[in-house]
Amino acid sequence: MGIEIERKFLVTSDAWRAAAHAVIPMAQGYINDMAAMDNGTQKASVRVRIQGQDAYLNIKSRELGHTRQEFDYPVPVSQARELLALCVGGLIDKRRYMVSFGGLLWEVDEFLGDNAGLVVAEVELESADQRFDKPDWAGAEVTDELRYYNLALASHPYSAWSAEERGQGNG
C-alpha cells in the first residue's frame, strides 16, 4: 500500500511558469463519482489517467486532508482510452507543470475544458508534519476543500461554480 501525503494550494500568479521544467498533458476520468463517495457505497475513488505516453489505473482512499492510501497500476494506453469511455461525469483535461522550489517538486495543474481558469499547485511530502517553504505564487491552501479534488471537478466542474464557490478557499 502506498501513502500519499499531499498539500494543495490555489495559484495566485503566473510567476511559476518561468521555473517550470517539464509539462505533461493529462486526461483522466473516474469510474465512480462523488455521489458514490458521499453516500458511503464506495470508500475510494477509481481513476483512469493518460499522462503523456503512459496510462494508469489509480485507486485513492477517501479521506479528507493531506494523507490518503493510494494504489497506482500501469495499463496500456489503448485500454485506458476504453476505460475513459466508461467513466461517469466529465473528463478532467489538464496540463501538469513540474516546478522545483525549496528542495521539493511542486506540480502545478492548469485545467482546461470545463475546468478552464482553475490552477492549483500540489506538493507531496515525506511526512504529515514536514516543514516546507511555500512559493509566493502559492496562495490559499485548499487541501481540505473537497470541491478542488479532481473527482469533484469531474462531477461539478469549475465552469459551473458560483461566485461563492470560486472564492479564495479557507486557507
Neighbour tally for 33: CB within 10 Å: 18
Q: Which three cell numbers stand for residue 116?
A: 478552464
Encoded amino acid at 94, one letter: K
For residue 110, CA distances in Å to 12, 22, 98, 125, 128 come to 12, 13, 11, 21, 25
Active-site residue 149, yes or no? no
Phi-psi region of 129 (alpha: psi -120 to 50; beta: other; left: phi over 0): alpha
55 close to 79: Cβ distance less than 8 angstroms: yes
Q: Which three cell numbers stand for residue 73?
A: 497500476
Which member of 30, 97, 148, 149 is catalytic?
30
For CA atoms 1, 106, 47, 130, the dihedral sign is positive
DSSP state of 32: S
Residues noted as catalytic: 30
